[in-house]
Amino acid sequence: MEDPMYSLQDVIRCNLCETPVPPKHCDICHIHLCEACVGKHLSDQSKDHYIVPFKQRGSIPKCPNHSTKTCTIFCQDCNVSICKICSSFGEHAEHKTEDLLKAMAEKKELIRKDLQELEESIYPKYQEAATNIPVQRADVNKRSQKLTTALDKQGEALHTEIDTIIQGMKSDIDVMDAQHIAAIDEQEVAINKTSTKIKKVILDLKRLLDTSDVCLVSEYTSRTEEFRSLPAQFQVTSPTFTPQEINREQIHQQIGSLSELVITYLVPTLLDEPRILTDIQTECTTLHSVSCLSDSELWTRGYNDNILRLYNLQGELLRSVQTKSGNEPWDIAVTRSGDLVYTDDRDRSINLVSGTQIQTLITLRGWIPLCLCSTSSGDLLVIMTSDDDNKQTKVVRYSGSTKKQTIQWDDQGKPLYSYGYTKYLSENRNSDICVADSNARAVVVVSAAGKLRFRYTGPPSTPRESFLPDGITTDSQANILTADLNNHRIHIIDQDGLFLRFLHNCGLQIPWGLCVDSRDNLFVAELTGKVKKLQ
């Protein structure tokens, strides 16, 4: 379409000298200017001016805080357009600023570079990665089928061995039965043979009693003594079967072992120096916990404060919620569905904040709930300590209000965690459960099954006594980040406990609670009452 300024019927002219097709425009005074008249127009210092290329006329926004002013300045710290009044007074007074058009040109150049990189480099990599997903799924099925086949084969071999042993024992029973029957048969033959003799003797004796033959009677010799003793009798101790108690563990060992799934994520290059992107001053004088609701909103929990507060990145308070009991909450977490959960150590409850309602999910007996986190599967992991003299600590997994798993002891029957209150936890991307055990001065990492994987007590060059972990979180690369309170820094270790680096020398003061957003930006809750967003 033809630009109206070049229309022959209505040529745009300089408002001061009538020169046609002026290349400039004052976006505050709303007049067109040729190059020669720009200086003359700016010489009128009784009011503000802002000269822009003609094609950009009308693109400069009005200041939302000063309705009569136009935004001609860009605040680099806040990434927003502001007017001259905003740049001279208020929150932007000490910020770094530049001309809005210059900033716009720089942003356009950045947009062009980003577009080029996204189209030519990044997006093709995502496309390639997406094509690998079906292959990975197919590989899972192949490996699973291979494992299942191997298990079936081992099971069949074990069944064959059991059947062979049972059949052998049955054969032994048959042999013993045959031996027993043979002994009985032998006894029967002896008894029958002697019985026949006795019957014959009885008949002979009866005939002798009836006869008057003196010779026969006088020749009689008694054989009764011969038959008085029965043929040799025998006693049988019948075989018995004494079954052993079936030991599932021994059977499991006979079958073999199945190694755990290990997912290792490639670690991207970390920024040489962390940068503070946002610095939020909350209403808490001593801040302990922070949990991301989204990339731009976060919940906070402070010491000696029964109010839970939701802030945006501009530090504006969006919502505040008082705990159901009026007690100070011990910790907070955001669930996968976006609801807030918190622990109340005084009434031993775990509570869900949904909308304007607070629902008590779980009330414990004999245990005090401390810190908690929401898992990728929607479960809750809660670390708790006993309220008696046993001084025990454990991690419990809940699905809703149903207990699914308890993690407390290592393979030697020793406690995984020390006794005490300051313990934060987080689920890693590989499903490991990471606990910052402040009393033990260690980060304790167990698998999803509760098996100890490692303990991190600081890099080798750091004295263990100086490491005091508090808050803990994990990022999309399965790195583990923990706040080192005494040393004003963050430790970053990989999923296997290898130290990667410190985050320090960036203005952190007494860091405590930690969380990350979807872009791996780190939010640090300081005991100073501030939340700092780091990249």
Q: Are 281 and 225 contained in the same domain?
A: no
Note the pLDDT tens digit of each residue in 209-220.
988 888 888 888
Q: Looking at 61, 77, 105, which one is the last position of a domain?
A: 105
Helix or strand (DSSP H, E) at 190: helix 123-210
Q: Are 159 and 184 contained in the same domain?
A: yes
Residue 432 Cα distances to 335, 419, 427, angstroms: 18, 21, 6
Q: Are 20 and 61 contained in the same domain?
A: yes
Examine residue 75 and state whether it is found in any structural domain, yes or no.
Answer: yes
Q: Are 308 and 395 contained in the same domain?
A: yes
Contacts of 516 (CB under 8 A, 6+ apart): 292, 473, 474, 475, 476, 481, 522, 523
Q: Are 127 and 16 contained in the same domain?
A: no
Q: Are 366 and 435 contained in the same domain?
A: yes
Q: Are 153 and 293 contained in the same domain?
A: no
What pLDDT score does 414 carry? Answer: 93
Q: What predicted TM-score, i.e. pTM, was given to this entire model?
A: 0.57
Note the pLDDT tens digit of each residue in 498-530.
998 888 877 788 999 999 998 899 999 999 999
Q: Are 27 and 131 contained in the same domain?
A: no
Note the pLDDT tens digit of each residue in 68-119.
777 878 887 787 888 877 888 777 877 888 887 788 778 888 888 889 888 8
* Amino acid symbol at 198: I
Examine residue 209 and state whether it is found in any structural domain, yes or no.
Answer: yes
Examine residue 247 and state whether it is found in any structural domain, yes or no.
Answer: no
Q: Looking at 236, 265, 284, which one is the last position of a domain?
A: 236
Q: Which two tokens stand for residue 488?
A: 């004003």
What CATH number does the domain containing 49 carry?
A: 3.30.160.60
Percent of the chain surpassing pLDDT 70: 95
How confident is the model over 243-270, as a mean pLDDT?
Answer: 75
Alpha helices in 219-326 (DSSP H): 224-228, 248-255
Examine residue 246 and state whether it is found in any structural domain, yes or no.
Answer: no
Rounded CA-CA distance 127/39 in Å is: 54
What pLDDT score does 1 carry? Answer: 42
Examine residue 256 and state whether it is found in any structural domain, yes or no.
Answer: no
Question: Which residue in the block uniquely carries the two structure tokens 């994520």?
Answer: 265
What CATH number does the domain containing 512 carry?
A: 2.130.10.10
Examine residue 322 and state whether it is found in any structural domain, yes or no.
Answer: yes
Residue 8 has pLDDT above 50, yes or no: no
Q: Are 315 and 457 contained in the same domain?
A: yes
Note the pLDDT tens digit of each residue in 336-368.
989 999 999 999 999 999 888 899 999 999 999
Examine residue 268 and state whether it is found in any structural domain, yes or no.
Answer: no
Note the pLDDT tens digit of each residue in 424-462.
999 999 999 999 999 999 999 999 999 999 999 988 766
What pLDDT score does 492 carry? Answer: 92
Q: Are 12 and 143 contained in the same domain?
A: no
Examine residue 245 and state whether it is found in any structural domain, yes or no.
Answer: no
Range of the domain at 115: 106-236
Domain total for the chain? 3
Q: Are 135 and 193 contained in the same domain?
A: yes
Q: Are 215 and 329 contained in the same domain?
A: no
What pLDDT score does 267 carry? Answer: 52
Collect contacts of 12-21 with beta carbons under 8 A, ≥24 apart.
12/54, 16/40, 16/41
Q: Looking at 61, 83, 105, which one is the last position of a domain?
A: 105
Percent of the chain surpassing pLDDT 90: 43
How confident is the model over 57-65, as a mean pLDDT?
Answer: 77
Residue 364: CB atoms within 10 A of its CB come to 17
Full DSSP string of 382-430: EEEEESSTT--EEEEEEETTEEEEEE-B-TTS-BSS-SSS-EEEEE-TT
